[in-house]
Amino acid sequence: MQHRMKGRTVLWNPGCDHAGIATQVVVEKKIWRESKQTRHDLGREAFLKQVWSWKNEKGDTIYKQLKVLGSSLDWDRACFTMDEKMCHAVTEAFVRLHEAGNIYRSVRLVNWSCVLRSAISDIEVDKIELTGRTMLTVPGYDEQVEFGVLVHFAYPVINSDERIVVATTRVETMLGDVAIAVHPDDIRYKHLVGKECQHPFLDRKLPIVSHSFVDMAFGTGAVKITPAHDQNDYEVGQKLNLPFISCINDEGLMEAWCGRFAGMKRFHARKAVLQELKAIGLFVTMAENPMVVPVCNRSKDIVEPLLKAQWYVKCDEMAQNAAAAVQNGDMRIIPNIHEKTWYKWMSGIRMWSFRDWCISRQLWWGHRIPAYFVSIRGREKGNDACDDSWVVARTEAEAMQKAIKKFNVPQSEITLHQDEDVLDTWFSSALFPISIFGWPKQTKDLKEFYPGTLLETGYDILFFWVAKMVFLCQKLTGKLPFTDIYLHSVIRDAHGRKMSKSLGNVIDPLDVINGISLERLHNKLLSSNLDPAEVQRAKEGQKRDYPNGIPECGTDALRFALCAYAAQGRDINLDVLRIQGYRHFCNKIWNACRFVMMTLGKDFEAEPEFKINKMATEVDLWILSRLSTAVRLCNDAFENYEFSKATTACYNFWLYELCDVYLECIKPVMRDADPEVQSATQRVLCFCVDSALRLIAPFMPFITEELWQRLPAGGHDKRQSICVAPYPESEQYNWADTAVDNRIQFAMSVVKAVRSLRASFDLTAKTKLDCIYVLSNDSEVADDLKRCAEMIAVLSTCNSVKINSNEYPLKGCVRFPVSDKCRIILPIEGVVDISKELKKLSLKKQKIQAQMEQLLEQMKGEDYLKTPEHIRYANEQKHLEFDNALEEITATENALRVSAEDAE
């Protein structure tokens, strides 16, 4: 919006991906809940009809949220990755990339969900850290499964009395072991390298090999090698040319050749293998072991590394170009702390070919892979694990022509079978910058809007989406898809936890905007796919965090809060109470503008071009200076994507400068001053409020639109929206005046001192003091204060302020230092009971000292260093607050004692 206000052509194109796995899981759960049927019971075509039905019913939720949030998108251009235009781009991209050698078929290890029976991407894998033995619930198992345990067992060395002990957290995979590795420098095993061990359950000999990847200090220093079920072992298996033997199938069952363990569920086999090892005397020991367990965040299944024939995108060259684009400055990552991650990933892809991108998914919902397996009558079936028996084409007819040419046989002898798998959702999402504009056609939109300028997204998908867009779009068009990548923070709950439906801490922005009762929050859980136990846990979380529901905060307050939270590089712990605070800020703006309109009156006409009037007061000049500073800070912040700095500048100007100071100071001006002075002040007031509304409009478009349209038009066409009104530019607001700022700042220090004393004596705003005396030994300071005397009087709630006057009474006064050049004298006789105030301060002091001693005692405790860091930080802040409070009380006591002595 700010760019549009600056007169630039702006396009924010809405789009929604089909979320392959997430959507399929939700719909499968829904069908099972309603009819106890699986997708296989329904069949592919009927199941996809159900998915489309669900999508049409629920798919507009995100768009609705964006619209209510006031997101300035071109809704006529909204697109969905399964739209015909997008599907055409996906097919074309796959074909072109395959023809260029960037897409190929291979057998490699993938993240496999046995529940989904599909490969999943890294972003769909949650890493659960365990500190030791832990029982976890696994789908499909009646009892919990043990993890976090390291099992030591022995392999007997052939033709020897020796045994070699290995350690593993996944003992069931020993059925897929093909070798035992030791470190070349490990003297314990050097004499065994080259020998073989006998597998206790299978007719298989395991060679003992040496490799530097082995950690001599971990376990026994000897490692079982299972290339088909472990990524590290996969690499070693490739380097040492070892066989790859899968012992677990797609459903998570042990393979048929696994002897007595055949057909067992993998975690049942874990127990059975352990029992058999004990029975034959090869079990050695078992110990707790910290470990990371990979869990599918869609199915909650334990991810199984499996060897599968899949389609891959070759990424090494693309990664090199992506790294170079950032290094050369052709593309910026903001904040730049994420550049290190970018380079790390890109160099990792170039170093290891296994980092190529697996794009096959064993699902039904998504873009069907445009690859066809070719069977030829009279010939042995080809190998589907590599490209040799496949053709890739835009249509089946094109595939047939390619097959005829490739295999040199007539059409009558060819049968085509399209791959049942669909593409990874990230593949179609990666094409978004070009597919939305009609690529591969060279449309007018593609020429005008591609490449784009800015991509804004979360840092958690920097590799999964951003990098893939850079890879594919640059490869297919020769141009980077955007020049700036702004990575926003991840929103967590007020306690810093990741938002999760099962925790009940997911915050729907519409609920924050409109407000919602606790009962309705609970009801939303009941209509979800959570199981009863998760629903109950989520309800408890909601009750704990929102005992009174979520208050209505409004759109502008939510937008402003999110931007205010957006300090670069930090996650957002979203506290609804802080958002509610910004709603009160909106009320402050509204009430301020009502006062302004009353002050201007119906007949006021704004100038087409604002100029400072010679009758402008000191405080008029000051507010123009502060406005100029706020404009500069906002423009600089927007330019550098430092949105929290822009919100701070707007907040400080509106609340602390315009409302708290300027509006209060002009009240007596508009009531009593010369008409020419009043006119000058009105023009400054109108100009400042008009500018300040436009300044904050990108954050608060709704309230600013309503208020701005009610202001006198001035040089603006009020028939247009504030969204296209000129944004204040730093060059046009050149009234920053350091001298004026310093004068008012010092005057405000006097006001603060007076207000502090008034608060100490519980003097409310209704108690108006007759006079305040300000003394200064510096003539320049005294002159500055004289220029601000009326302002000090207004803000201090007194009738007058006298600077360096000899008229002040000698008795019944409080003397208080403001600085080494200035002090104030506050006559309090007849207003404050000095002895009573001293007693009250003494009691208050004793109470704070007792609290402080208690806190210090706690902080000196032996186990205090074990206290969580955030609690220790809070205690340090509390100690500082006690210190400041005692210092303030002591200063007030001293002032009162001097006053009491004078009175005597």
The confidence score (pLDDT) of residue 354 equals 45
Q: Which residues contact 152 (CB under 8 A, 6 or more apart)?
A: 165, 166, 167, 219, 220, 283, 284, 285, 286, 287
pLDDT at 287: 93
Contacts with 603 (C-beta within 8 Å, 6 or more apart), sequence order: none
Cβ-contact 827, 809 below 8 angstroms: yes
Q: How far apart are CA 744 and CA 749, in angstroms?
A: 9
Residue 351 — very low, low, confident or very high, per pLDDT cuts 50/70/90? low
Measure the CA–CA gap between 792 and 751, rounded to whole angstroms: 6
- Return the pLDDT at 580: 95
Q: How many CB atoms lie within 10 A of CB 665?
A: 24
Does the pLDDT at position 225 exceed 60? Answer: yes
Residue ranges per structural domain of the chain: 149-289, 492-577, 601-729, 740-827, 835-903
Q: Which of 133-142, 394-403, 770-779 has the lowest mean pLDDT?
A: 770-779
Q: Write out pLDDT tens, residues 241-294.
A: 999 999 999 999 999 999 999 999 999 999 999 999 999 999 999 999 999 999
Q: What is the mean pLDDT of the chain?
A: 91
**pLDDT greater at residue 87 or residue 545:** 87
pLDDT digits (tens, 9 = 90+) for 574-602: 889 899 999 999 999 999 999 999 999 98
DSSP 8-class letter at 651: H
User: Tokens 């506290």 — which residue?
Assistant: 575
pLDDT value, residue 353 = 45
Whether residue 716 is predicted with pLDDT greater than 70 in this model: the reply is: no
In whole angstroms, give the CA distance from residue 659 to residue 592. Answer: 7
- Strand, coil or helix: what is 155? strand
pLDDT in tens, 291-344: 999 999 888 899 999 999 999 999 999 999 999 999 999 999 999 999 999 999
- In the chain, how many H helices and how many E strands? 30, 31
Round to whole Å and give the CA distance between 157 and 193.
11
Separation between Cα atoms, residue 582 and residue 748, nearest integer Å: 25
Of 446, 445, 398, 396, whose CA–CA distance to 416 is shortest?
396
- Residue type for position 620: D
495-517 average pLDDT score: 85
Whole-number Å distance between alpha carbons of 406 and 389: 10
Averaged pLDDT for residues 423-430: 96
**Which region among 20-24, 98-102, 444-448 has the lowest average model confidence (pLDDT)?**
20-24
Please check the confidence at residue 687 and state whether its pLDDT lies above 90: yes
Length of the chain (residues): 904
- Considering the domain delimited by 601-729, tell me its CATH architecture: Orthogonal Bundle (1.10)
CA distance linking residue 311 with residue 468, whole number of Å: 16
For the cut 60, the answer to whether the pLDDT of residue 62 exceeds it is yes
Q: Collapsing DSSP states into helix, strand and coil, what is residue 113?
A: strand
Q: Is the pLDDT of residue 80 over 90?
A: yes
CA-only gyration radius of the chain, Å = 36
Average pLDDT, integer, range 164-176: 96
For residue 43, pLDDT beyond 70: yes
Q: Which amino acid is at 533?
A: A
DSSP label at 420? S
CATH classification (class only), 149-289: alpha beta
Tokens of 75: 């809704």
The mean per-residue pLDDT over the stretch 54-78 comes to 91
- Do 149-289 and 601-729 show the same overall fold? no
pLDDT the model gives residue 718: 64
